[in-house]
Chains A and B, each alone.
Chain A
Amino acid sequence: MELLVNGKSYEVDVDEETTLLAVLRHDLGLTGTKYGCGDGDCGACTVLIDGEAKNSCITPLDSAVGCEITTIEGLAKGGDLHPVQEAFVEHTAFQCAFCTPGFIMSTVALLSRNPQPDDRQIRAALTGNICRCGTYVRILQAAKAAAERLAQKGGE
């Protein structure tokens, strides 16, 4: 099967029910996407499928074939961090950072469909992601800062 990940096409030879998470991590070596539960409960495995945030641990490979998949590794462009990544750095929106790729991907998806979310909308969009280190206060700040930054960029 052919898979389009971070703008590159890959040929993978696995059972079609293999999860997208397993393929990304095992077959493609893209270990930035994390396993946290395998049940769709924690968001550690969040990737973008055609721009939408999805839990890759419960996404069978065949349903992602033909779609554009973006992982945390594909977010920075030409060495420049994505504004959401920058905001997470600036607000130290992590401790162990195991949840960080998932939160960043969910935030990117939110801001692409709603560039100016309010506090409630941010919380709603990120409630599927768990940060056990409890850095939510900072994640909220980072998401707001990223929205502002994107708005400025868009206005330039």
Chain B
Amino acid sequence: MTTISELHEDAALVVTGPPQWAGELELREAPGPEATLLMMDRQGGAIAFSGKVEYGQGIRSGFSLAIADELDLPLDSVRLILGDTDLVPWDRGTVGSVSTMTVGIQLRRAAATARGALVTLAAEHWAVDEASLATSEGHVFISGEPSRRVSYAELLQGKDLRLPIPEDTTTKRAEDFVFMGKDAPRTDALDRVTGQAKYSQDIVVDGMLHGKVLRAPSYGARPQQIDTAGAERVPGFVMLVRDGDFVGVVCEREDAAEQAVDAIRVRWQEEQNLPSDSDFPAALKEKAKEMIVLREEGSPAEGFAQADHVLEGSYFVPHVANVPMETSTAVASWDGGNLTVWSGDRAPFVVRDELAQALDMSQDQIRVIAPEVGGSFGTKGTVGVAQEAAVLAKAAGRPVRVAHSRSEEFMWGTVRPAALFEIRSGFNADGQIVAWEYTAYHTGDRPQRGQRGADTPYNTPNVRISVADSASPLRTGSYRSLGCAANHFAREIHIDEIAATLNMDPVELRLMNLTHPRLSRVLRQTADRFDWESRRNDSSVGIGVAIGYDAGSFVAECVEVAVRRRNLRVQRVVAGIDCGLVVNPEGVRNQMEGSIVMGMGTALREIVEFDSGRLLNPALSRYRVPRINDTPEIEIVMSGDSTTPSTGAGEPGIVPIAAAIGNAVYAATKTRIRDLPIVPRLG
């Protein structure tokens, strides 16, 4: 394992600064403590450091391209170290799309700082003015005389520079990019297609054993009597660790550990009176906690009194699972009092800090390394398997790996909260919405999840938006866009109901009530590309539209479905996004397509079923995520302009899709969809 001092030994130039820079974006948190952001070695190569992790969003590639551009280096001279708490600047985790942007911008500034220093060195070297110099492919040259050049490696010989990023550092303009803004294969593609990329699941360290933890059959169940004799007879059994309700086995092989834990005989005491999925949505309101008013403007009561029409509806989304293809996995290895953990987590510093607290250690005794992460979407923010591996490894005196099986991942990973929405709208005969009352109940205990995207983007004078948390027996947590997609589902279905009530075109009704120029533009462009006007007349299919906002970006989606009884096919999706300046168009398209497919799952079939605290469908054969034969034709429209700062592209695509599909199903069948998932409600 590389240490930070080894890296420093070989460094001729080190750029330091806080890991985030807000630029024109708003930063909702401190930029983070000063740290090493970039180094150049004596061979002229660059190493950049970030606490973000790669879980599929192409961050390694994106950051590498940005650094190569700012530093004028060949791409293969740029190395990126991600998510290793001993090496990289502190980071709260790869969670918001915006925080990724602020880190990316700061790395560009770090690279620009290094480039500036190299130009200064070259100016001294030739005793010329800096303004007469330019850089390209790892060299500084005299402008107009490309043959008079000196390599970065040469300039850095014998140097030992430490440079903080100057406040006035300027980065390149879009027209000067060599790598950014173009469609390019991911820089990590080769490792991915040859099976060489190492995920947490693939980490093997010398002497490593395999641990498995005894899991309760239902939430809140506690073991009463435990007979471990069977486990000890399994070939390859090494030891059993018991501490209160925690029981773990350690074996030579993973399959042996599974057998051993299965051979433990337990009498469980299960919790009584836990709700089942069939108790929802009623349970959401019954168990509601404090109602928080997010926005109140005008007088909804007066608005309703004056409106030509008043419409009420309630909407429901069930708990859905993240289902990353790689299950949560960690390897823990002790060296005296120091602990190293490889954990496929999107927040290695959070894992480190939670481990320190749980194990009563100081943070600097723990190193957490995030290898490649096989999908996250919001889950894997927990310390679970990492702590279990650490406890078992300590007991065994050897490194131990703990990996969730698929059913453990379903049960002990996190799910997106279920939510209930009650909407009351008042509108005039011409389509103008004059009053809007929105009340949402999301399970879970983090209000910001359910609040995200709850506010209406439509321009309505009398508004009241309120959101309450509610209880769930499941482990609720983050999910792509948090509660934003759920809130959008309810609102955008209701908007469609308004259009239907007035017999108005749903695109027109939306445009009429929107004053946000970027949202209107993305809707117009998307509907045009979809050919909305003429598709409306095709009676063999249903078409639907929905819009939304998330992570600073704006989206609109038009879909076409064909419905034959319970057979619902989403045939075509046109999705528009305005995420400002697009640094990596291929990456934006890829993320949008992925969000749409993921959102289709929640729209069509996904639901976590449970009864009395037990999961009923913790398997991929019974929890139906989208497969390739569900995949529609997807076209992405980018409607942003390059003078607007870049905003998130990984989450917004999921926000309107379920409502767009629901609205298309209505157009095709006149069945109004107010609850998800849709397929079980058809025919």
Q: Could you tell me if B620 and A97 are in contact, using CB atoms closer than 8 angstroms?
A: no
Q: How far is the CB of A74 from chain B (nearest CB, A)?
A: 9
Within 8 Å CB of A99, what residues of B? 325
* Extra contacts besides A18-B255, A135-B590 (7): CB < 8 Å: A34-B325, A97-B197, A100-B193, A101-B195, A130-B620, A132-B325, A137-B597
Nearest residue (CB) in A for B199 is: A98
A64, B536: Cα distance in complex, Å: 55
Q: Could you tell me if B193 and A134 are in contact, using CB atoms closer than 8 angstroms?
A: no
Whether A127 touches B629, Cβ cut-off 8 Å, given contacts A31-B204, A34-B374, is yes
Q: How far is the CB of A87 from chain B (nearest CB, A)?
A: 9
Within 8 Å CB of A117, what residues of B? none
| 11 A–B contacts from the bound complex (CB under 8 Å) | A31-B198, A34-B199, A36-B327, A36-B406, A38-B406, A89-B193, A95-B594, A97-B197, A98-B374, A136-B597, A140-B628
Query: Contact mask B624-635 → A, CB, 8 Å, 1/0?
Result: 011111010110
Say whether A139 faces chain B, with CB atoms less than 8 Å apart.
Answer: yes
Within 8 Å CB of A88, what residues of B? 189, 192-193
Q: Could you tell me if B621 and A39 are in contact, using CB atoms closer than 8 angstroms?
A: yes
Q: Could you tell me if A92 and B375 are in contact, using CB atoms closer than 8 angstroms?
A: no
Q: Could you tell me if B189 and A92 are in contact, using CB atoms closer than 8 angstroms?
A: yes
Say whether A26 faces chain B, with CB atoms less than 8 Å apart.
Answer: yes
Which residues 208-266 of B have a CB within 8 angstroms of A? 235, 253-255
Within 8 Å CB of B254, what residues of A? 22, 26
Q: How far is the CB of B464 from chain A (nearest CB, A)?
A: 36
Partner of B326, one of A36, A73, A92: A36
Within 8 Å CB of A41, what residues of B? 406, 619-621
Partner of B593, one of A15, A97, A132, A134: A134
Q: How far is the CB of A133 from chain B (nearest CB, A)?
A: 5
Q: Could you tell me if B619 and A39 are in contact, using CB atoms closer than 8 angstroms?
A: yes
Q: Could you tell me if A85 and B593 are in contact, using CB atoms closer than 8 angstroms?
A: no
Within 8 Å CB of B598, what residues of A? 132-134
Say whether A29 faces chain B, with CB atoms less than 8 Å apart.
Answer: yes
Whether A123 touches B628, Cβ cut-off 8 Å, given contacts A72-B195, A92-B586, is yes
Closest 4 CB pairs of A and B: A32-B195, A134-B597, A96-B56, A98-B374
Say whether B372 faces chain A, with CB atoms less than 8 Å apart.
Answer: yes
Q: How far is the CB of A84 from chain B (nearest CB, A)?
A: 8
Q: Could you tell me if B194 and A73 are in contact, using CB atoms closer than 8 angstroms?
A: yes
Query: Contact mask A34-53 → B, CB, 8 Å, 1/0?
Result: 11111101101000000000
Determine chain A's interface SS by DSSP, over half rule.
loop
Whether A94 touches B192, Cβ cut-off 8 Å, given contacts A22-B255, A26-B254, A130-B627, is yes
Q: Could you tell me if B590 and A44 are in contact, using CB atoms closer than 8 angstroms?
A: no
Q: Could you tell me if A138 and B619 are in contact, using CB atoms closer than 8 angstroms?
A: no
Whether A130 touches B625, Cβ cut-off 8 Å, given contacts A19-B255, A97-B197, is yes
Say whether B196 faces chain A, with CB atoms less than 8 Å apart.
Answer: yes
Q: How far is the CB of A150 from chain B (nearest CB, A)?
A: 16
Within 8 Å CB of B195, what residues of A? 30-33, 71-73, 101
Which residues 61-77 of A have a CB within 8 angstroms of B? 71-73, 75-76
Q: Could you tell me if B593 and A138 are in contact, using CB atoms closer than 8 angstroms?
A: yes
Within 8 Å CB of B626, what residues of A? 134, 136
Whether A26 touches B253, Cβ cut-off 8 Å, given contacts A37-B406, A130-B627, is yes
Q: Which of A35, A44, A76, A139 has the most CB of B within 10 A?
A: A35
Nearest residue (CB) in A for B202 is: A31
Say whether A129 faces chain B, with CB atoms less than 8 Å apart.
Answer: yes
Interface residues of A (CB under 8 A from B): 15, 18-19, 22, 25-26, 29-39, 41-42, 44, 71-73, 75-76, 81, 85, 88-90, 92, 94-101, 104, 122-124, 126-127, 129-140
Q: How far is the CB of B567 from chain A (nearest CB, A)?
A: 15
Nearest residue (CB) in B for A31 is: B202
Within 8 Å CB of B631, what residues of A? 123, 136-137, 140
Whether A89 touches B625, Cβ cut-off 8 Å, given contacts A134-B597, A136-B631, is no
Q: Could you tell me if B327 and A95 are in contact, using CB atoms closer than 8 angstroms?
A: no
Q: Which of B189, B375, B596 has the most CB of A within 10 A?
A: B189
A124, B405: Cα distance in complex, Å: 27
Whether A34 touches B201, Cβ cut-off 8 Å, given contacts A39-B406, A41-B621, A104-B193, is yes
Interface residues of B (CB under 8 A from A): 54-58, 185-186, 189-190, 192-199, 201-202, 204, 235, 253-255, 323-327, 372-375, 377, 403, 405-406, 586, 590-591, 593-598, 619-621, 625-629, 631, 633-634
Q: Could you tell me if A36 and B325 are in contact, using CB atoms closer than 8 angstroms?
A: yes
Within 8 Å CB of A34, what residues of B? 199, 201, 325-326, 374
Q: Could you tell me if B204 and A37 are in contact, using CB atoms closer than 8 angstroms?
A: no
Q: Could you tell me if A39 and B620 are in contact, using CB atoms closer than 8 angstroms?
A: yes
Determine chain B's interface SS by DSSP, over half rule.
loop
Within 8 Å CB of A101, what residues of B? 193, 195
Q: Could you tell me if A31 and B201 are in contact, using CB atoms closer than 8 angstroms?
A: yes
A136, B198: Cα distance in complex, Å: 23
Q: Could you tell me if B375 and A96 are in contact, using CB atoms closer than 8 angstroms?
A: yes
A131, B631: Cα distance in complex, Å: 11
Within 8 Å CB of B192, what residues of A? 88, 94, 97, 100
Q: How far is the CB of B402 from chain A (nearest CB, A)?
A: 13
A25, B373: Cα distance in complex, Å: 18
Partner of B201, one of A35, A85, A124, A126: A35
A99, B625: Cα distance in complex, Å: 14
A80, B197: Cα distance in complex, Å: 17
Nearest residue (CB) in A for B406 is: A37
Within 8 Å CB of B586, what residues of A? 92
A29, B202: Cα distance in complex, Å: 9
Q: Could you tell me if B253 and A22 are in contact, using CB atoms closer than 8 angstroms?
A: yes
Nearest residue (CB) in B for A136 is: B631
Q: How far is the CB of A60 from chain B (nearest CB, A)?
A: 12
Within 8 Å CB of B593, what residues of A? 134-135, 137-138
Within 8 Å CB of B324, what residues of A? 96, 98, 132
Q: How far is the CB of A38 from chain B (nearest CB, A)?
A: 6
A32, B197: Cα distance in complex, Å: 8
Within 8 Å CB of A30, what residues of B? 195
A106, B254: Cα distance in complex, Å: 26
Q: Could you tell me if A92 and B185 are in contact, using CB atoms closer than 8 angstroms?
A: yes
Within 8 Å CB of B405, what residues of A? 38
Within 8 Å CB of A137, what residues of B? 593, 597, 631, 633-634
Nearest residue (CB) in A for B252 is: A26
Within 8 Å CB of B619, what residues of A? 37, 39, 41
Q: Could you tell me if A124 and B629 are in contact, using CB atoms closer than 8 angstroms?
A: yes
Within 8 Å CB of A139, what residues of B? 628
Q: How far is the CB of B657 from chain A (nearest CB, A)?
A: 11
Within 8 Å CB of B54, what residues of A? 96
Nearest residue (CB) in A for B373 is: A96
Whether A133 touches B196, Cβ cut-off 8 Å, given contacts A41-B619, A96-B55, is no
A100, B254: Cα distance in complex, Å: 23
Q: Which of A34, A126, A137 has the most CB of B within 10 A?
A: A137
Partner of A127, one of B57, B327, B621, B628: B628
Within 8 Å CB of B326, what residues of A? 34, 36, 96, 98
Within 8 Å CB of A124, what residues of B? 629
Within 8 Å CB of B627, what residues of A? 127, 129-130, 136
Within 8 Å CB of A132, what residues of B? 323-325, 375, 377, 598, 625
Within 8 Å CB of A38, what residues of B? 405-406
